[in-house]
Amino acid sequence: MFHTDDSNYKINYKLFIIYGILNTLMMQLYQPFQAKYLQRLGGSDVHIALMSSLPGAMMAFIVLPGAIILNRMEDKHKVTGHLIFVCRMFLLLFAMLPWVPTALRPLLFVLLVVIMSVPNSIYSTSYQAFVGDLFDVSARADAIGKRNMYTVPATVLITFFTGYTLKNLPGSETERLQLYQIFYVVAFLMGMFELFVFKKFKIHGDHKVKNPLKFDFKKMMSNRKFTRFLRSSLLFHFGWQMGWPLFTIYTISVLKADEAWLGYMNIGSSLSMFFGYLFWAKLIKRKGNHSVTAICTFGMALTPLFYILSPNLYVLLITSTVSGFFTSGTVSVLLSDLLEVIPEKERVLYIGLYSVFTNLSLAVSPLVGSFFKEQFNIVVALSVTTVFRLIGSFSFFSRSKAERLEESVNY
């Protein structure tokens, strides 16, 4: 990996930020409105829940074999670039959906999301390991925080533009779907710029592994630091992922948000995340990953309560903005925390194993949230989500306390 005194460190640092901005621009052209696009294609609340859960089931089976294969590749940088290209090609397929028969559109949309999760899951594993190759521990949190911080202005501008345009420009439903198609095509082109920048990263030659390590599940699970992190993360992820379709359903189906409101909420959240990235990066340096993970996840555990207490879109705009502050910390610290507790040489395999467990959670938890919504109501479902998130957060607090105690004993 590169240290701050390496000649290529500054180049990679700038490229890392530029790549993050391009990736964000690409994602924000369609992702905030993906559920609304599905709804306008004829999708129901069930389709929204399936869109959240089915990719997890697919990725749980794919990501570990993918990580093992990736671990055997000599040039992971090149392979990751190929995965980026394949993932972005799916954006063109999403753009074609309004041209298929109306009855097939929602099902095809969900199917494409599921199939896209295959290369995307392997890319995600490879990219997380790639971040560990680029920066050492001392520089990693700062690089991740700065990348996330600089993506916020891009998020605000593109989300405001897309949300306002989708709301006000189309004169009919057909024109609105055509505008969605344009955004998907532009997102694909942005993805090609993203790939161009990714290829320019400078990688040490010794990262082209010729003698890859074998996958040893028993050995990996005997790593106490990893298993403690894994246990806490899974408990939190279950509640975190459970809320994804519920938040969408509450916002779109209950409070009747259109594309403009979805854009406003994304902008509010992004602005609070901008300041959050600055704050959490400094706190991680001072307190370490463990303590910050516990604090951030506790703040995120309260998000479902914020939704319950939001009777209209104006209040929800405020609460989603507040929750974005803790989300920024969680997004930054979980990756940094994971990279800290796994061995450098086996990074890809550990991340692959970790992704299997989190994707198994993703396959189940949105459906659990949907079950509580259907059996009771959205308020009960959001309340259950809060409980699961709190359990996960308290688990992180317990882990932090246990490891501090161990360190003091060893010292």
Higher pLDDT among residues 84 and 5, named by residue? 84
> Confidence class of residue 407 from pLDDT cuts 50, 70 and 90?
low
pLDDT value at 230 more than 70: yes
pTM of the model: 0.67
- DSSP letter for each residue of 317-380: HHHHHHHHHHHHHHHHHHHHHHHHHS-STTHHHHHHHHHHHHHHHHHHHHHHHHHHHHHT-HHH
In the predicted model, what is the mean pLDDT of residues 370-382? 89
Find tokens 């910050």 and name the residue. 292
Nearest to 239 by CA among 300, 292, 288, 286: 300
pLDDT given for residue 211 in this prediction: 46
- Residue 404 is classified by DSSP as H
pLDDT given for residue 175 in this prediction: 84
- DSSP letter for each residue of 63-108: HHHHHHHHHH-S-HHHHHHHHHHHHHHHHHHHHTGGGS-GGGHHHH
Dist. CA 250–CA 306, nearest whole Å: 12
Q: For the beta carbon of residue 30, count every other beta carbon within 10 angstroms.
A: 19
- Residue 3 is classified by DSSP as -
Question: Judging by beta carbons within 10 Å of its beta carbon (0-12, 13-18, 19+), is residue 405 exposed, middle or buried?
Answer: exposed
Dist. CA 30–CA 94, nearest whole Å: 10
Q: For the beta carbon of residue 273, count every other beta carbon within 10 angstroms.
A: 26
In the predicted model, what is the mean pLDDT of residues 182-203? 88
- Residue 103 is classified by DSSP as G
Structural domains in the chain? 9-202+220-410 (1.20.1250.20)
Tokens of 242: 């459970």
> Confidence class of residue 213 from pLDDT cuts 50, 70 and 90?
low
pLDDT given for residue 132 in this prediction: 67
pLDDT given for residue 192 in this prediction: 92
- 2 SS3 class: strand
pLDDT given for residue 1 in this prediction: 46
In the predicted model, what is the mean pLDDT of residues 268-282? 80
Winning range, highest mean pLDDT, from 187-201, 220-234, 272-286, 354-368? 187-201
In the predicted model, what is the mean pLDDT of residues 220-236? 85
Give me the phi and psi of 286, to 5 degrees please: -85, -40
> Confidence class of residue 91 from pLDDT cuts 50, 70 and 90?
very high
pLDDT value at 253 more than 50: yes
Residues 6+ positions from 276 with CB-CB distance below 8 Å: 324, 325, 326, 327, 328, 329
- 47 SS3 class: helix
Higher pLDDT among residues 194 and 210, named by residue? 194
In the predicted model, what is the mean pLDDT of residues 20-41? 83
Phi-psi region of 42 (alpha: psi -120 to 50; beta: other; left: phi over 0): left
Instruction: Report yes or no: 329 and 296 within 8 Å, Cβ to Cβ.
Output: yes
Min mean pLDDT across 15-24, 46-55, 177-186, 192-201 is at: 46-55
pLDDT value at 363 more than 80: no
Higher pLDDT among residues 333 and 239, named by residue? 239
Instruction: Report yes or no: 143 and 135 within 8 Å, Cβ to Cβ.
Output: yes
In the predicted model, what is the mean pLDDT of residues 286-311? 85
pLDDT value at 273 more than 70: yes
Give me the phi and psi of 177, to 5 degrees please: -65, -35
> Confidence class of residue 382 from pLDDT cuts 50, 70 and 90?
very high
- DSSP letter for each residue of 377-397: -HHHHHHHHHHHHHHHHHHHH
Instruction: Kindly tell me the sign of the dihedral angle through the C-alpha atoms of 86, 26, 236, 312.
Output: negative
- 6 SS3 class: coil
